[in-house]
Amino acid sequence: MKRIFGLECEYGLTFSPNGRVYLPIEKILGYIFEGLIPNSWPSNAFLTNGARFYQDTGCHPEYSTPECDDIFDLVVHEKAGERILESCLPTAEERLRDEGLSGAIYIFKNNTDSLGNTYGCHENFLMRRDVDFWKVAEQLIPFFVTRQIFSGAGKVLKVSGKPQYFLSQRAQHIHEKTSSSTTSSRSIINTRDEPHADAERYRRLHIILGDSNMSAFATYLKVSTVDLVLSMIEEGWCIPGIELEDPVKAIREISRDPTLKKKVKLEDGRELSALDIQRLYLDSAAEFLRTQPSDTVMDDVLQEWERVLTALETNPMQLVGEIDWVTKKWLIQSYVDRKGCGWDDPRVAMMDLQYHDVNRKRGLYYMLEAHEKTVKMVDEQAIERAMSVPPQSTRAKVRGDFIRFARAKNRSYAVDWTYLKLNGYWEETILCMDPFCAFNRRVDELLAQVSAARLYP
């Protein structure tokens, strides 16, 4: 079936003043909002590209992509969120100067801060309501636990006072198999049931354990493999005996082993490595696709998935520029070798953070990209277009076009994922419950009426 995808990325935000005056981070976030939506400070703002930009718990700017029914569209719109935030920095720093202050504002696309707090990158997949959600969850949990071997962003942490390299930033902050909470008891699979669509037909699979990726290829592989495995499970395919004895313990143990040799225990007593488990899913997915009509995208996903697993098994450094944890490890190790310092050097911790800086003039990932050390998966022109233009084949088009019209007419409006409302004349809440539908007759009629009307002050 066609599927709707979405990513919600929370960003780290910090201010480094030139002097002794330090502004609260709430004020800095307000300047970021002003750079995006002048003369207002909304706590929940939808944009002309159909996305949502808002303040999350802990004063984190959060960008939710518009609804996408194509994985490549999703990757492009996720990158557009980075560019939108980067574009806010000059205006925000100018506001600082207006107040007689100076300093640098940093926005990081990562998942942990120096105090040990975490913030997430949530994934959303529309799935069928008629499929048993708990059976889906049981089949998916081992996949998500082990997926970090290609989706992890990498992190240097101290263990017993010594620096150690971890595959994932989020893994150490996961406490439950399943939970409805996203903060107090973070889980592998979130059970909150908010489909933002026809609840009788659909459910939204909400995943909160993943890392934020700088690599567009890592984002592509992270999301597309879930799509493939979920489709397989929805069609009744399953891998028997794959359940882990302790998934929370397993996700942490796998994260602590960049050699990828650590084996975790299954409920049936077997012990397998993350690579072994991913191979089981890969083989089952390959068998499943042989029973389905040919699909160019899924064929590519299968091929790339197998290529990456083979490289991880033989020499992970083959994946520099594609997989974030590999790229960062290579970058830091090269620096340590060149400088003759240890991994406990303060400059290593700085590099670990600076890899995620969204400012392309100083972020280490983008410095690698400038030197053609990364795989360029998405076109910059497509990213720039996605900053203001919604996907043309989903509900996001209706929302984005409506917002653009209302702003052009200087009209007050209210918008959410499933409704639109133009305040004042013709004040009516219009429901948009079908995320696959890129048009809405009632919205078209409303906009035509407003365009034709002669409004007097």
Q: Say if residue 456's pLDDT is above 50.
A: no
Please determine, for residue 62, whether its predicted confidence score (pLDDT) is greater than 70.
yes
- Measure the N-to-C terminal CA separation of the chain; round to a whole number of Å: 50
Map residue 424 onto helix, strand or coil.
coil
Domain assignment of residue 422, yes or no? yes
Q: Residues in the chain, how many?
A: 457
**Tens digit of pLDDT for each residue in 359-401?**
999 999 999 999 999 998 999 999 999 999 999 999 999 999 9
Domain range for 404:
392-452
Instruction: Please give the pLDDT value at position 181.
Output: 67
**What is the pLDDT confidence band of residue 42, given thresholds at 50, 70 and 90?**
very low
Q: What is the pLDDT of residue 183?
A: 63
Mean pLDDT estimate for the chain: 93
Look at 271 and 17; give whichever has higher pLDDT.
271
pLDDT in tens, 106-165: 999 999 988 888 999 999 999 999 999 999 999 999 999 999 999 999 999 999 999 999
pLDDT in tens, 349-359: 999 999 999 99
- If one counts every other C-beta atom within 10 angstroms of the C-beta of residue 312, the result is 19
Q: Do 421 and 430 meet the contact criterion of CB atoms below 8 Å apart?
A: yes
**Quick one: pLDDT at residue 373?**
95
Assess if residue 149 is contained within a domain: no
Supply the DSSP string of 99-159, one letter for each residue.
Answer: TT--EEEEEE-SSB-TTS-B--EEEEEEEETTS-HHHHHHHHHHHHHHHHHHH---EEEEE
Sign of CA dihedral 356, 358, 364, 366: positive
Q: State how beta strands 271-273 and 263-265 pair.
A: antiparallel
Run of H or E including 90: helix 71-98
| Structure-token match 């993943």, residue found | 210
Q: How far apart are CA 162 and CA 344, in angstroms?
A: 7
Q: Is residue 428 part of a domain?
A: yes
In a domain, 437, yes or no: yes
The token pair that represents 46 in the structure block = 């939808």
DSSP state of 316: G
What pLDDT score does 327 carry? 98
- Report if residue 251 sits inside a domain: no
CA nearest to 393, candidates 31, 147, 131, 70 = 70
Question: Residue 26 has what pLDDT?
Answer: 86
Round to whole Å and give the CA distance between 267 and 274: 15
* % pLDDT > 90, the chain: 79
Of 39, 44, 64, 65, nearest to 54 by C-alpha is 44
Residue 409 domain-assigned (yes or no): yes
Give the 3-state secondary structure of residue 404.
helix
Q: What is the tally of structural domains in the chain? A: 1
pLDDT for residue 455 is more than 80: no
For residue 24, being part of any structural domain is answered with no
Residue 211 annotated in active site: no
435 within domain boundaries: yes
As a whole-number percent, the residues of the chain with pLDDT over 70 amount to 96
Q: Which two tokens stand for residue 415?
A: 């918008």
**pLDDT tens-digit readout, 220-272:** 999 999 999 999 999 999 999 999 999 999 999 999 999 999 999 999 999 99
Annotated catalytic residue within 56, 211, 324, 401: 56
Pairwise CA distance, residues 357 & 375, whole Å: 18
Cα–Cα distance measured from residue 32 to residue 5, given in angstroms and rounded to the nearest whole number: 26
Q: How far apart are CA 432 and CA 347, in angstroms?
A: 50
Tell me the backbone φ, ψ of residue 288, rounded to 5 degrees.
-60, -45
